[in-house]
Amino acid sequence: MSEGKLVNLRQMPPGRSGKVVEIQGGAGLFNRLSALGVRPGKKITKVSSMLMRGPVTIQSGNTRLAIGFGMANRIIVELDEA
Amino acid sequence: MTCHSVKNERIRQKSGVKRILLMGNPNVGKSVFFSRLTGVRVIASNYPGTTVSYMRGFMKLGEEEAEVIDVPGTYTLEPTSEAEEIALKMLNTGDIVINVVDATNLERNLNLTLQLLETGTPMIVALNMWDDVGHRGIHIDLKRLEELLSVPVIPTVAITGQGIKELVEHIPYATSPELAPSEHDERWLAIGNIIDQVQQVTHRHHTWLERLEDTSVKPLTGGFIALAVLVGAFLVVRFIGEGLIGYVLDPIFENLWTPVILGLSSLLGGTGFLHSILIGSIAGGEVNYVEAFGLLTTGLYVPFAMVLPYIASFYLILGLLEDIGYLPRLAILMDTIMHRLGLHGYAIIPTLLGLGCNVPAVLATRILESRRERFIAATLISIAVPCAALQAMIFGLVGERGGQYVAMVYGTLFIVWIILGLILNRFVKGFSPELLIEIPPYRLPLWQTVLQKLWMRVRWFLREAIPIILAAVLVINILYTLGVFNAIANFTAPVVTGLLGLPKEAVVALVIGFLRKDVAVGMLAPLALTSEQLVIGCVVLAMFFPCIATFVVLLRELGVAGLLKAAGIMIAVALLVGGLLNLIL
């Protein structure tokens, strides 16, 4: 495994990609996210984030998702090399 | 595409297929399939005891007729929302499932596909958006996928109709392989396995459409796009609505209907009880359709020539925005603002619906997860979001006095929406969960689907609203004759005149507002109000109390206690804002 830096989705800079390593929180959030294609091991790219604690937009495969600010805090990503 | 087993022979013998379920993730083109498969006989139904609606239609299958159901989109059979629970219940009533799969999102879609296979319902897979796969640098080995799933897999492009014929031909070959139920992790492992064997993805560059998709969810550009879309939508709705009124409906009423009314009027002798109920007050060979207040004059003119054109144009544009896929983007942009009002971005969708009619809007608040959010959203909608019928009348009557007065009405309602939302967010207990939605790619809408949806919504208006409008006009006439209104007007005069600065007769309009707000605004017309009074009247009418239909759904959605709270807020806010306007204007 490469020495990627671990960040949460909110801290991840727009345009960067990375691999989901952990979803913190209960099974409810985990199941909802995994049904939408976001689970540990998946590669995702951050598209944008809204100002003032707005949602984060990501791309995973050909799926685009908007994820609320608080949830984005709980998704941990290992950044790819820029 | 040949996967016949002994089992599907059995299915065919079982007197053919009776009920076909279209199932799949949201945004995979299920409703386009539905339009393609079914004919004109389409019914929108609510699942018993819920507000989850689905479409039902029929198709020819050989000699027999089969029922086709467009099941609400679901990501998983482990339900996370009410719509998904309903989808699960419906699954048990179907004979076969057509699983519509987005070929460009195979991995995520297969999660539902495998869960469906585990239930043992005979199934075929429509691998939709097949034309898009190449553009996105994806290669899918169809034959291998069919072998691995053990059910027929048909590539389709629903939007152009490609593959639909083959799909229909394969319906009798729907089959159910014996697939043991599996756990979450096992299933994802199995999916990964399938994907490794059938799908190859090559790198490619972003298309201009995807860039556009990106810009619409970035804070700055997205904001401009949203503003442009909303202003554009508003202008087009007005343009179509006014066009229909000015060039179609007004001429019909003036040239064709007025002679009939005048003839009938002289037949009835120009006066009397029946005359005033059917025709109302007309003078000098002219019919003033807004002020006459007869069943055959105002009773028909308001719904058909003032309200229907705006209803039709509003729902046409809303349907287009829905099918293009813009609304989720608006939800994301609005999320930050909506959070301040105790809601999340998705609440913008019921709010927009409310600009058409508050009833489906309040029902649509069900898409919000928490009770608190639903209370806030429903209360805000019924106070500060005027329905199309009311707006049409505001444009018709207040618009005559000048655009600035219309702007005053809208501006006041918007400010109330914001301030009341901030207050409710502070004081209503509970929590508001966060946004998590898929952003579908932009798609060209299929006009059949758009028109089908428009027709369902217009028909709903014709069926539900017109009888109430006629009843309201009738009740007004009878109560007038009995002198009931005079009594009410005298009783409430201190509030109406003292606080709101309106003539005491205006209370009649407020009372009738409980039945229909459009009719109520019409009742302000003969009162010779100043423009400022008209603004106050319209604002108070919009906020004061919901119409009876909204009242009933509020009761159902919020319960008695919730409704009383909401109604109390409405009356208090309406009187407060009306009084303030009276002081300022």
pLDDT digits (tens, 9 = 90+) for A42-59: 889 998 888 778 899 998
Domain spanning B6-204: CATH superfamily: P-loop containing nucleotide triphosphate hydrolases (3.40.50.300)
Instruction: Note whether A64 contacts B441, CB cutoff 8 Å.
Output: yes
Place of tokens 């319209």: B538
Instruction: Note whether A62 contacts B218, CB cutoff 8 Å.
Output: no
From first to last of the 585 residues of chain B, give the pLDDT tens digit.
Answer: 344 443 443 444 344 568 999 999 988 888 888 888 887 666 666 565 555 678 888 888 878 888 999 998 888 888 777 777 888 888 888 899 999 999 988 988 999 999 999 988 999 999 999 988 887 888 999 999 999 999 999 999 988 889 999 999 998 888 888 788 888 788 888 998 999 999 888 876 666 777 777 787 787 888 899 899 989 998 898 899 889 989 999 999 999 999 999 999 989 888 888 888 888 888 777 888 877 888 898 889 888 988 888 889 888 998 898 888 888 888 888 888 888 888 888 888 889 888 888 887 887 787 787 888 889 999 999 999 998 889 988 988 898 898 999 999 999 999 999 999 999 999 888 777 788 888 888 888 888 888 888 888 888 788 877 888 888 888 888 887 788 888 888 888 888 888 888 888 888 888 888 878 888 888 888 888 899 999 999 999 999 888 877 887 788 788 899 999 999 999 999 999 999 999 998
Domains parsed from chain A with CATH numbers:
6-79 (2.30.30.90)
Q: Report the candidate in A68, A56, A44 with the shortest Cα–Cα distance to residue A11.
A: A56
Of the candidates A33, A35, A50, which has its C-beta nearest B332's C-beta?
A50
Q: In terms of CA atoms, which chain A residue is nearest residue B217?
A: A48
In the A/B pair of chains, how many CB contacts fall below 8 A? 98
Neighbours of B321 (CB within 10 A): 18
Exposure string (b/e) for A45-77, b if CB count within 10 Å is 16 or more?
bbbbbbeeebbbbbbbbbbbbbbbbebbbbbbb
| A34: chain B residues, CB-CB within 8 Å | 184, 188
CA-to-CA distance for A26 and B383, rounded, in angstroms? 37
Instruction: Note whether A68 contacts B441, CB cutoff 8 Å.
Output: no
8 A C-beta contact, residue B53 and residue B44: yes
CB within 8 Å of B42: residues ≥ 6 apart: B55, B56, B57, B452, B456
| B78: chain A residues, CB-CB within 8 Å | 31, 35
* Alpha carbon of B51: minimum distance to chain A alpha carbons (Å): 22
| A52: chain B residues, CB-CB within 8 Å | 336
For residue B200, give the 3-state DSSP assignment.
Answer: strand
Instruction: Note whether A62 contacts B111, CB cutoff 8 Å.
Output: no
Of the candidates B108, B213, B434, which has its C-beta nearest A71's C-beta?
B434
Per-residue pLDDT at B405: 94
State which amino acid sits at residue B467: P
* Confidence category of residue A3, pLDDT binned at 50, 70, 90: low
Q: Report the candidate in B380, B371, B376 with the shortest Cα–Cα distance to residue B343.
A: B376
pTM of the full predicted structure?
Answer: 0.80
Q: Does A42 touch chain B (CB under 8 A)?
A: no
181-220 of B, contacting A, C-beta below 8 A: 184, 188, 213-214, 217-219
Q: Does B76 touch chain A (CB under 8 A)?
A: yes
Q: Where are the domains positioned within chain B?
A: 6-204, 219-584
| A33: chain B residues, CB-CB within 8 Å | 436
ipTM: 0.88
Residue B341: both structure tokens together? 């009002």
Of the candidates A31, A61, A68, which has its C-beta nearest B107's C-beta?
A61
